[in-house]
Amino acid sequence: MIKVTVWNEYVHEIAEEEVGKVYPEGIHGAIASFLRTNEDMEVRTATLKGGELTEELLNDTDVILWWGHMAHNEVPDELAEKIRARVNEGMGFIALHSAHHSKPFKKLMGTSCNLRWSENNQHERVWNVCPSHPITRGIGEFIDIPQDEMYGEYFDIPAPDELLFITWHKSGEVFRSGCTFKRGNGKIFYFQPGHETYPIFYNEAVQKVLTNAVRWAAPVDVDPEFVTCKHTASLEEL
């Protein structure tokens, strides 16, 4: 059983009527809903303003999905650092769309995570460039998304360990939109589609990507001791 936590700042849905209509249960609710159809996942949610991400919940989480945008700064530095450390110990971290600028993601990357953007609401096509990866299983050649916010290069991230998707935007940009990273015992997946004003998390292919990603990011049974600093005076003589 994979213990999944879906975290969402849950601000747009309340403050903006347009967003609330698209995601009446919040983005976290929509994501939790399709993940819960998988028998190998136990799914909980947490938000900024209610049902907080406690240390207890964090320690009991195998994989966390993170959606944030306008309230990045309301996430305490201490929590962001705890999340970074939990990933290092083995927790999976899936950063969605504008989570590129979230505190935990930036701490994990070590870069500005800046990008080019425009709310031009145009067609995007998400190309699968790594067919043998567990996350692209069953996805086919591309995913068409009729409308989304445009995220384009240069995306200031470390070179991903694996590049799974590249997005084409009608307006002339491209974007490394599906990227994996390993940090210590933990696995990280960044996925670009998912602006709050469009029903992207109801898209079946997007749901399949995220379902695959949760399974991929679930920790293998690694001892957290693995990543500690060790004095090895006690190693046997060879």
Residue numbers 165-204 binding its own copies by CB under 8 A: 166-174, 176, 181-187
Q: 2, 1, 4, 25: which is closest to 13 by C-alpha?
A: 25
Q: Is 185 helix (H, G, I), strand (E, B) or coil?
A: coil
Contact 109, 158 (CB under 8 A): yes
**Which segment (16-24, 36-44, 47-55, 105-113) binds its own copies by CB under 8 A?**
105-113
Which one of 35, 108, 179, 200 is in contact with its own copies (CB under 8 A)?
Answer: 108
Closest to its own copies by CB, 47 vs 177, is: 177
Total residues at interface with its own copies (CB under 8 A):
74
Backbone angles phi, psi at 138, to 5 degrees: 80, 10
CA dist., res. 130 & res. 115, Å (int): 23
Taking the complex as a whole, how short is the minimal distance between the CB of residue 89 and its own copies, in angstroms? Answer: 9
Residue 109 as a binder of its own copies (CB under 8 A): the answer is: yes
Residues 63-92 that bind its own copies (CB under 8 A): 84-85, 88, 90
| Residue with tokens 């491209």, as numbered in its chain | 174
**Site mask, its own copies, residues 118-137, x = CB under 8 A?**
x-x--x-x-xxxxxxxx-xx
Which one of 3, 162, 199, 203 is in contact with its own copies (CB under 8 A)?
Answer: 162
Q: Is 208 helix (H, G, I), strand (E, B) or coil?
A: helix
Say how many Å lie between the first and final Cα of the chain, rounded: 41
